[in-house]
Amino acid sequence: MELNLSGKIFVVTGGAKGIGEAISMVLAAEGAHVAIVGRNMNDNLAAVEKIAGAGGHACAFEAELSHADACRSAISQIVAHYGQIDGLVNNAGANDGVGLENGSPEAFLQSLGRNLVHYYLMAHYALPCLKESKGAIVNITSKTAETGQGGTSGYAASNGGRNALTREWAVELLPYGIRVNAVAVAECYTPLYERWIKTLPDPEAALERINNQIPLGRRMTTPNEIANMAAFLLSEKSSHTTGQIIYVDGGYTHLDRAV
């Protein structure tokens, strides 16, 4: 399917690694220009080089997304460079294991800053451009908001907030024709996930156990499968879709795992 994204400008937070990198690569392959925003400039530049090597276009912007001034500056730099923004993918964040029992009030608030607050900040500062372009917002979120996981209050609360903001913004931005949707991730094999698996006593057995809990295909979702959905939601091919939380998870969240 031709998504007609050629020449459009998309901002992807955390767009240098894992799911974010896959989204950046897919958008660039569709002819879009990708503004990769993240705290590690070396990672950002490596992703830009990889995209260029595949014939795509991207630029890197450094920002500590938990800081409002950094988010505002990143958007200003992107607008100065490209002159427009056609879509925003809020993706940056990580399951940081800040729980109720093993955490602290300070750690919980920091987790919200790392995983939720910048979703609002980036959307807030990009909004004038999105109004002009009648663009779209895609929020990457997690099944932890619905299923719980245990030991990760900050991340679960952040994803609950991401889901709520998706629907809230979809309503608020209706007058401007800006669509807002979310892609919910369950078990997706990324470098970060692999690093976590390797900390377990028997990584191979743990991976097999997790795979066997995923109804469709007994395998994890790939980053590209998440990226393909994000690209579709950014495109006019999904022109009457807004306020939706779409689970790209092989049925993990909602289907009986015994099937």
Per-residue pLDDT tens over the stretch 13-64: 999 999 999 999 999 999 999 999 999 999 999 999 999 999 999 999 999 9
pLDDT above 80 for 179: yes
- Residue 60's DSSP bridge partners are 36
Does residue 23 sit in helix, strand or coil?
helix
Res. 251 pLDDT band, cuts 50 70 90: very high
**257 vs 15 pLDDT, higher one:** 15
Which residues are the active-site residues? 155
pLDDT above 80 for 1: no
Q: What is the pLDDT of residue 7?
A: 97
Q: What is the pLDDT of residue 259?
A: 80
Q: Which domains does the chain have, with CATH numbers?
A: 9-186+222-247 (3.40.50.720), 187-220 (no CATH)
Q: What is the pLDDT of residue 258?
A: 79
**How many whole angstroms separate alpha carbon 24 and alpha carbon 13?**
10
For 112-193, where are the E strands, in sequence order?
A: 136-142, 179-185
Percent of the chain scored above 70 by pLDDT? 100
Dihedral pair phi/psi, residue 224, rounded to 5°: -65, -30
- Residue 87's DSSP bridge partners are 10, 136
What's the pTM value of the predicted model, to 2 decimals? 0.96
The arithmetic mean of pLDDT across residues 159-179, rounded, is 98
Per-residue pLDDT tens over the stretch 64-103: 999 999 999 999 999 999 999 999 999 999 999 999 999 9
Does residue 232 sit in helix, strand or coil?
helix
Q: Please spell the DSSP secondary structure of 55-82, one letter per residue.
A: T-EEEEEE--TTSHHHHHHHHHHHHHHH
The arithmetic mean of pLDDT across residues 165-174, rounded, is 98
The arithmetic mean of pLDDT across residues 204-220, rounded, is 94
CB atoms closer than 10 angstroms to residue 181: 24
- Residues counted in the chain: 259
Per-residue pLDDT tens over the stretch 182-200: 999 999 988 888 888 899 8
Q: What is the pLDDT of residue 191?
A: 86
Measuring CA to CA, which residue among 43, 237, 57, 223 is closest to residue 140? 223
For all residues of the chain together, what is the average pLDDT? 96
pLDDT above 90 for 249: yes
Strand arrangement of the beta sheet that strand 179-185 belongs to: 57-62, 33-38, 9-13, 87-90, 136-142, 179-185, 245-247
Q: What is the pLDDT of residue 184?
A: 98
- Tell me if 49 sits within 8 A of 25, measured CB to CB: no
Q: What is the pLDDT of residue 171?
A: 98
The arithmetic mean of pLDDT across residues 143-161, rounded, is 96
Q: What is the pLDDT of residue 75?
A: 98
The arithmetic mean of pLDDT across residues 100-116, rounded, is 97
Q: What is the pLDDT of residue 83?
A: 98
**How many whole angstroms separate alpha carbon 156 and alpha carbon 95?**
8
What is the distance of C-alpha 167 from the center of its chain? 16
